[in-house]
Amino acid sequence: MEHLSATPSPYPDGCGAWQQADVRTARDRLGWRPRINLEESLADIWMEAACRI
């Protein structure tokens, strides 16, 4: 099994760290699905960013 390390990169505005995961392998091999869908995740990110303004 290949192990990959991820290094978080700063947000463009410097307000935190960004992580991105490709979950296709977990989906394909394990049948895994995220508990929070993309629409809800984006709404959460948007609200968090709005609260920092």
pLDDT at 43: 93
| Residues 6 or more apart whose Cβ sits within 8 Å of residue 19 | 6, 8
Q: What angle do CA 10, 8, 32 make, to 5 degrees?
A: 130
Q: Which of 22, 20, 14 is nearest to 49 (CA)?
A: 14
Sorted by where each begins, the domain ranges of the chain are 9-51
**pLDDT top residue among 52 and 33:** 33
d(CA 33, CA 53): 33
Q: How far is CA 6 from CA 3, 15, 17, 18, 40, in A?
A: 10, 19, 11, 10, 24
pTM of the predicted structure, to 2 decimals: 0.43
pLDDT at 51: 86
Task: For 9-42, write each residue's pLDDT tens digit.
Answer: 555 665 666 667 788 999 999 999 989 998 999 9
